[in-house]
Amino acid sequence: MENELLGIGKVSALSGLPVSALRFYDGADVLPPALVDPSSGYRYYRPDQVRQARLVAHLRRVAIHWTGSGQWWPSRRTRDRSWRPTWTG
C-alpha cells in the first residue's frame, strides 16, 4: 500500500485540503503531485505527501501565509533543497 499513488480526491479527504487548494498549491509549486497523467491531467500523490498536505491545511487554519517562491520541502521541479519561506503577517 505504501507504494500506491493516491488520487487528488483521496488526498483531499485525508488532508482536509479542498481539491481546488491542492490544484492551486501544485501550480504554486508548494505541493506538486508525484505524477500527473499526461493525457488527462489527473494528479496523483505519494502516501507520504498526505503529511505535507495536512501541514499546509493546518497552516491555512492558523492563518500563516507565505509569499514568493519559498520552498518548505524539496521540489521535484526545481530540485532545490533549500528551505526559504517568506512569511507575511
Q: What is the pLDDT of residues 13-31, one digit of tens each?
A: 999 999 999 999 999 989 9
The model carries a pTM of 0.69
**Predicted local distance difference test score (pLDDT) of residue 89:** 45
Rounded Cα–Cα distance for residues 69 and 9 (Å) = 26
b vs e for 65-79, b when ≥16 Cβ sit within 10 Å of the residue's Cβ?
ebeeeebeeeeeeee
82: three-class secondary structure by DSSP: coil
- Give residue 7's Cα distance to chain centre: 13
Q: Is the pLDDT assigned to residue 77 strictly greater than 60?
A: no
Confidence band of 81 (pLDDT split at 50, 70, 90): very low
List of domains in the chain = 6-88 (1.10.1660.10)
**Cell numbers describing residue 49:** 505527501
